[in-house]
Structure 1
Amino acid sequence: MSDLTNLRGPERRPLRGRRLALGTIAQQGSQAAGLLAMLIVTTVVGRRLSLREFGVFGLLSSLAGYLLVVQNAAAAAAVRELAASLGAGQRERRSVVFASALVLYTGGGLVAALALAICGPAVSFVLGLEGQLARDTQGGALLLATVTAIGWPLTIFRDVLRARGRFVALAVCEVAGIVAYAALVCALALTAAPLWVLIGAAGTLPPAVGLTALAARPLAGGFVARSAARPERATVGSLLAAGAGLSGAEIANAVAYTADRGLLGALGSARLVGLFEGPLRAHNVLRALSAALVTTVLPTAARLHASGDVAGLRELAQRGIRYALLLTAPAAAVVAAGAAVLLEVWLGQRYVAGASGLRLLCSYWLLQGAGAIAGAILVALGRTAVVARTAASALAANVLLALVAIPPLGVAGAALAFAVPAGLQALWLVWRLRQALDLTVRELLSAAVPGWLATALALAAAWAGLAVAGEAAWPALLVLPVALLVGWFVAFVTALKPAERAFARSLLRRLPVSEDTPGTDRRSVSEGAPRPDPR
């Protein structure tokens, strides 16, 4: 991956990915903090509530989360436009884009709030809830809607940091917001707060992150100018059109998750919905790891595309696919191998019945990391319609498969209905990226092989370790991270190019190392290489 903050055209494109790599590492740290918070919150809430209550909590809080993911996807249009307006002499344009995006964020928050408010009675009806549980469901949905309406506009400050490439500052702000959110939800759960209050508190992450991002002074640099800090109808329209296309893919994912849960409740019971929460929440760990890469790839690809740097886009695509698969596919394999022990230690013996569902949800991650990178670059190239149509097709296939698979298979059927279309979706996006950038099949396979090699090794190590550990849960659990490290280490030594290994080591030593092939010029900044952005 390349540092594109100071692009001067292809003729001055030394691919020195240090800043972007460090930003990605910072985002991974933020995602790790979010995952840890999610695990803690899920553990505390899941152990305190009954399966029926946990199913309701998981469904409504996840709906708010999926709507936020949809908003994040639409926000990529604003990030792209803000990133493209960072050049000299574009101060007024930046302020117009910022004001126009703020209008859309506010309107989107109100629409999302209305949808969540309606979901309260709808969930009660679909799951057949009665009495206090039905009242908690509807009251929680109303409180969650209120928090969402307040929180969405505040996320624009987070996205300004993204557009400016301040990924480390963004990661710090996200961690601070995550800590505040997790502390609030856990405190309420441990003090036996009513279910409707817990549901409302589950939506406090966006305002928490937005407020901490505001404290980082993201608007410095001309995002708000007094003479032009007003929305423009044309800009609002273009952002809305681009955002709608981007949101289409995430709306499809959100609807797929919701449809699978709804069909589990309608064709099975609310207990099955609660049982499905364990696999879904564990699966979201992988989605978060992938999202950290997309956060940095999208604005980078947008700048490359704006500069006409096709060679840079090709290299970004290949390295992005390589690193994404290296990160996510081995982790998915290890989670699949230890699905039963993970659910038992994490949530308790009653959730082990969902282990087959978790394994199926992990299966499509052999391709999904590459698909996420491909989707982000296609968006940067302005091909949002391709991404949206692919997601819509996957959604339709998901619903059809769920109708067939859930009655005989239950939780495993819902997982299967999600995994098969998602894997095909990822494969198709990679193929369309190949066409867009004129990549060869050999180039794509060379990018994917390190991740697949690490996956095979990690899976074999996990199986061997679990066989030795036997029935003991905690020793078996400790085997899994060791197996993951084995896969990563062997892939690092055998599958990465020498220059890539040197670059990775330089990040740890904080030394400037070129990403070119060994023996090429490795000048430092002071010796003539373009200077990094001081921001």
Structure 2
Amino acid sequence: MNYTEVKSRIWSNALSNYLRTFIGIVVGLITFRLLYQALPKESFGFWSLLWSVFGYGILLDFGFGFAAQKRVAELSVSRDWNKLSQVLSTILFFYLGIAAVLAGTVALGSHHIIRWFDVSPANHDEFRLALIVFFAAIGLAFPLGIFPEILRGQQRIRLANNITTLAMLMRLGVIAWAVHAGWSFMSIMLVALFFALAPDLVCALFALRHMPEVKLRLSLFSRSIMRETMAFSIFAYISTATNIVLGKTDQLVLGATLSVAAVALYQAGAKVAEVFAQFTKQLQDTLSPAAAHLHAIGDHAALRDLLQRGTRWSALIATPLYVLCAFQLEPLLRVLTGDAVIAQETFLVAQVLLFWFYTTTLTHSVSKRIYMMTGHERRLMWLGIGEAVANLAISITLVLIFRSVISVAVGSLIPTLIFGWFVLWPWMARDADMSSWRLIRQTLLPAWLACIPAALVLAAPHWLPALQTSNEWLQILAHGSVGGVVAALCVWRFALHPDERASLLARIPCCRRSSARQSRVLRASPTPEPSTLPELASGEASY
């Protein structure tokens, strides 16, 4: 594939990512509220703690999942199916060994783990069983998780998204019935785990069918392939581990220093920020296999262009959403939790984490994904370690001093600002052969300026009491919709280039048919207008 085909795949995969994410957000919000209202506070806190630990499961991934994605993208270019069979077989059976060790270790130490989290005696046995089953599922997630990575390496992210979306909808239906029927905490946990693992099995069928030459056999396990793969995966692993520390440590710090109930308070404030992060990272997730492919064919100019355009579009997508969420945060929290009054600490935690995810989107999300696939994994590893250590040290220090939930959130924000704007951003600017300020003007400033009118509209209820309402749904639908429309119109008119607007219109089915009819008329006309043809060409070539 050339760069034009790669860009087309990026857009197709990104749009499917956003569709999956939108459905996932709706499903997640409904599920969150169902469980928040139905489960006792300790059960909900334990549920949140376990699923935050689920993210830590990738610490036993050793970077091989990311390596599988990279090697599929690279070896598919050279069509070296024998080598790819060895690589994937080695990773798969290594994961099976990890799964067995993990499940056995947690089963043996489950009593001590439950006591460490200070679970009440009444819930000790049920939570212990849930813990064992949960970590057995994490173990299975390792070998099964290789198959969605294969689809991503094939740049067939859209297919993986469709499978995941169907599983999410089915999970919501079953959990809603379980809550209505009064199922136990353990039964609901089993439902959630089943629908977390089932999509990986379906992905396996499609991934291997697309590569019939690739075989997965224990006999193909190779120690030399293991060493070769680890030359990359160890750096990817440490970088990923540090990202987990950055994103998931807060809950563990709170559980260990304050209480499980503090985790529930933090989780309520963090949910809006997590939904924002899920929605804004979908374009970036498609860049990794594209960068690996371009690196494999040696197209360095395309990689630089991918870095700048990816950052620009990340800002164009994330900035309006950040402004909307920041000004509508309190009604969003009331809708999310069902609480009539939102605690001040919960609101402040939500604002800090929302800004944390926003600045991470601008400085970390694109650069790290592209640099990891293009030979900079060693440097990313050391940067990630520095940021994670600073995050952990500042968070623990602040929570021990102030004994508050918001201290942990501030402890996460500070290192991200330092490493993002003073390390990663200058690195991106040097690669783009421009100053840091010029890179900001080209990639971020258009989105910032375009969202000023929307910020003023959304802030109006704070200045004009007559516009305020106690109904959170009305506030979100009325004020939020107006602010969102203003943001969308200003970004469309003032932040996008003409060729970008033409390219986006061409991807809308009705506009695409109109464009096709116009093209046929132009081809049939003996004297087309000189100004029309270049505009169409520029639209077709735009990112």
* Counterparts of 2:414 and 2:60, CA distance in 1: 22
1:465-504 CA-partner distances (Å, limit 9, x unpaired): 5662333322112233542342233112101111111111
Q: Assess if the C-alpha contact under 8 Å between 1:345 and 1:474 holds in 2.
A: yes
* Counterparts of 1:105 and 1:274, CA distance in 2: 32
Which of 402, 413, 434 aligns to 1:419? It is 413
Which of 221, 244, 267 aligns to 1:254? It is 244
Q: Which amino acid letter does the alignment assign opposite residue 427 of structure 2?
A: R
Which of 357, 360, 379 aligns to 2:352? It is 360
Equivalent positions of 1:24-103 (< 5 A) are 24-68=14-58, 71=61, 74-87=64-77, 89-103=79-93
Equivalent positions of 1:147-296 (< 5 A) are 147-216=137-206, 218-222=208-212, 224-225=214-215, 230-296=220-286
* Counterparts of 2:340 and 2:36, CA distance in 1: 11
Secondary structure class of the residue paired with 1:129: coil
* Counterparts of 1:88 and 1:228, CA distance in 2: 24
Q: Assess if the C-alpha contact under 8 Å between 1:155 and 1:209 holds in 2.
A: no
Q: Which amino acid letter does the alignment assign opposite residue 309 of structure 2?
A: R
Identity of aligned residues (%): 20
Q: Assess if the C-alpha contact under 8 Å between 1:55 and 1:270 holds in 2.
A: yes
Residue segments in structure 1 that go unaligned for 5+ positions in a row: 1-5, 8-12, 530-535
Larger-Rg structure: 2
Q: Assess if the C-alpha contact under 8 Å between 1:279 and 1:355 holds in 2.
A: yes
Equivalent positions of 1:285-324 (< 5 A) are 285-324=275-314
2:426 maps to which residue? Answer: 431
1:393 maps to which residue? Answer: 386
1:348-407 CA-partner distances (Å, limit 9, x unpaired): 227822111000001134422231100001101121222222222222222222233335
1:290-317 CA-partner distances (Å, limit 9, x unpaired): 4422321001111111222111011101
* Counterparts of 2:20 and 2:59, CA distance in 1: 16
1:421-474 CA-partner distances (Å, limit 9, x unpaired): 233333333333334454543134311223323454443332225662333322
1:10 maps to which residue? Answer: none
Q: Assess if the C-alpha contact under 8 Å between 1:333 and 1:459 holds in 2.
A: yes
Alpha-carbon spacing, 1:336–1:50, altered in 2? closer, same or farther (3 Å): farther
TM-fit CA distance, 1:87: 2.6
1:496 matched to 2:496? The reply is yes
Q: Assess if the C-alpha contact under 8 Å between 2:63 and 2:235 holds in 1.
A: no
1:305-349 CA-partner distances (Å, limit 9, x unpaired): 122211101110111001112222332332222222111111122
Secondary structure class of the residue paired with 2:209: coil
Residue segments in structure 2 that go unaligned for 5+ positions in a row: 520-531
Which deviates more from structure 2 when the two are superposed, residues 124-133 or residues 369-378?
A: 124-133
2:526 maps to which residue? Answer: none
Q: Which amino acid letter does the alignment assign opposite residue 190 of structure 1?
A: H
Secondary structure class of the residue paired with 1:299: helix
1:446 maps to which residue? Answer: 442
Q: Assess if the C-alpha contact under 8 Å between 1:302 and 1:380 holds in 2.
A: yes
TM-score (norm 1): 0.86
Give me the CA root mean square deviation.
Answer: 3.2
Structure 1 stretches of 4+ moved >6 Å: 226-229, 511-514
Q: Which amino acid letter does the alignment assign opposite residue 385 of structure 1?
A: R
* Counterparts of 1:304 and 1:500, CA distance in 2: 22
TM-fit CA distance, 1:510: 4.1
* Counterparts of 2:434 and 2:213, CA distance in 1: 37
* Counterparts of 2:336 and 2:157, CA distance in 1: 31
* Counterparts of 2:428 and 2:212, CA distance in 1: 34
Could you say which structure has the higher helix fraction? 2
Which of 394, 404, 411 aligns to 1:410? It is 404
* Counterparts of 1:191 and 1:147, CA distance in 2: 25
1:519 maps to which residue? Answer: 534
TM-fit CA distance, 1:65: 3.3
Q: Assess if the C-alpha contact under 8 Å between 1:151 and 1:207 holds in 2.
A: yes
